[in-house]
């Protein structure tokens, strides 16, 4: 017990935002013609040109904000924010201004699409959750109002086709496990609103996730089919069924993609990988790394000091009994035994 007390009475120094050539941005989202990218950086929503220049911060709040989505006319951006303790959906003018809150439920709402019919699609866990892992899919008008269920099935990452006939979504669990194969894997599905049918589009035993529409019959998505998350594309017919085989558009060998967005006109794809942001032509061109130029100061202190009094693990005493090695928050420390 005395040794354990020695282990956990330490101070950990944690740095989380050091200067980089390109900042670590999250959740990139293309506007309609692919000329601008909205993204989350330091917990706020930003917009820049597609080449990374002219970055402008739209929100400034102590809460974390992410998942930006452009309106069809590019005048507004919707996003999720935990300003009130859990994720709700907000909208803000794409040139800056005051944000407006749209959802007020005590359960988190995670934004996934802004449809051509001016609805915001999101996933949530309210009163209709059927199984442990998947969420229910709802929508709310971008002008505000009462949210409503748009699918009886559960799922995630829902996006509506440009002609409003199909809703692409995924069912499964934990895409962070890139190498996972098994019964809990993500697959891409579509719901046909005309015929009230659900069609499974992918049958890979690993993860296929984050479907994005290029046009009314083309879906882009992230797949681990090559062993690493890459961009894939598939076509559907007029009955919402997959046509032919899917096509792999990127060929990363190490460290796959983490997020995907396709411009509304179907011309451009953006995705994040490692700490970098990429854009590429949707026809399968070479991905180009984007260096986002942000001139603003740090939103928070770049170094955070933490005093840890618990949570030490995997400790061991040296053979001579004078030193002790242990792990705290994923880092290894060595301390004299005194």
Rounded Cα–Cα distance for residues 65 and 46 (Å)? 10
Rounded Cα–Cα distance for residues 120 and 109 (Å)? 11
Residue with tokens 């705290």: 328
Distance spanning both ends of the chain, measured CA to CA = 14
User: From first to last of its 338 residues, what are the pLDDT tens digits of the chain?
Assistant: 344 444 344 443 333 344 446 788 999 999 999 999 999 999 999 999 999 999 999 999 999 999 999 999 999 999 999 999 999 999 999 999 999 999 999 999 999 999 999 999 999 988 765 666 679 999 999 999 999 999 988 999 999 999 999 999 999 887 788 888 998 899 999 999 999 999 999 999 999 999 999 999 999 999 999 999 999 999 999 999 999 999 999 999 989 999 999 999 999 999 999 989 999 999 878 999 999 998 766 666 667 777 777 778 888 999 998 898 989 888 898 988 87
Contacts 24+ apart (CB under 8 A), 117-123: 117/160, 117/164, 118/71, 118/72, 118/142, 118/143, 119/160, 120/69, 120/78, 120/89, 120/91, 121/150, 121/158, 121/159, 121/160, 121/167, 122/80, 122/89, 122/147, 123/155, 123/156, 123/157, 123/158
Q: Indicate the pTM of the whole model.
A: 0.84
Closest CA to 67 of 196, 159, 178: 159
- Residue spans of beta strands (DSSP E) within 61-182: 65-70, 76-81, 88-93, 100-101, 109-114, 119-124, 135-141, 148-160, 166-171
Rounded Cα–Cα distance for residues 296 and 245 (Å)? 46
Please check whether residue 162 is in contact with residue 176, taking contact to mean a CB–CB distance below 8 angstroms: no
Q: Which CATH class is domain 21-290?
A: mainly beta
Q: CB under 8 Å to 150, separation ≥6 — which residues?
A: 121, 137, 138, 139, 158, 167
Tokens of 125: 């866990």
Residue with tokens 């993609």: 257
* Domain extents in the chain: 2-11+302-336, 21-290
Containing H/E element for 305? strand 303-308
Q: Is 269 helix (H, G, I), strand (E, B) or coil?
A: strand
């Amino acid at each position: 017990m005395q040794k354990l007390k020695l282990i956990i009475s330490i101070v950990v120094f944690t740095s989380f935002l050091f200067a980089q050539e390109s900042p670590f941005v999250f959740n990139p989202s293309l506007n309609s013609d692919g000329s601008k990218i909205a993204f989350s950086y330091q917990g706020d929503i930003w917009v820049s040109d597609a080449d990374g220049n002219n970055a402008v911060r739209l929100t400034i709040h102590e809460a974390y904000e992410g998942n930006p989505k452009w309106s069809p006319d590019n005048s507004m951006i919707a996003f999720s924010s935990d300003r009130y303790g859990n994720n709700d959906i907000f909208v803000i003018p794409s040139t800056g201004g005051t944000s407006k809150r749209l959802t007020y439920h005590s359960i988190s709402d995670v934004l996934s699409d802004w449809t051509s019919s001016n609805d915001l699609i999101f996933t949530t866990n309210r009163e209709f959750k059927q199984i442990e892992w998947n969420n229910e899919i709802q929508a709310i008008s971008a002008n505000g109002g009462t949210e409503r269920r748009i699918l009886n099935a559960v799922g995630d990452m829902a996006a509506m086709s440009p002609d409003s006939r199909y809703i692409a979504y995924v069912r499964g669990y934990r895409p962070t496990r890139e190498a996972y194969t098994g019964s809990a894997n993500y697959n891409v599905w579509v719901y046909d609103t005309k015929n009230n049918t659900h069609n499974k589009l992918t049958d890979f035993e690993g993860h296929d996730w984050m479907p994005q529409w290029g046009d009314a019959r083309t879906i882009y998505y992230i797949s681990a089919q090559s062993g690493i998350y890459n961009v894939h594309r598939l076509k559907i017919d007029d009955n919402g069924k997959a046509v032919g085989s899917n096509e792999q558009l990127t060929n990363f060998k190490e460290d796959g993609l983490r997020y995907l967005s396709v411009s509304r006109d179907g011309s451009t794809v953006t995705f994040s990988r490692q700490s970098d942001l990429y854009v590429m032509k949707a026809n399968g061109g070479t991905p180009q790394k984007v260096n986002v130029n942000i001139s603003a100061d740090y939103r928070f202190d770049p170094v955070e000091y933490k005093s840890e009094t618990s949570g030490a693990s995997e400790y061991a005493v040296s053979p001579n009994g004078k030193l002790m090695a242990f792990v705290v928050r994923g880092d290894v420390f060595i301390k004299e035994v005194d």
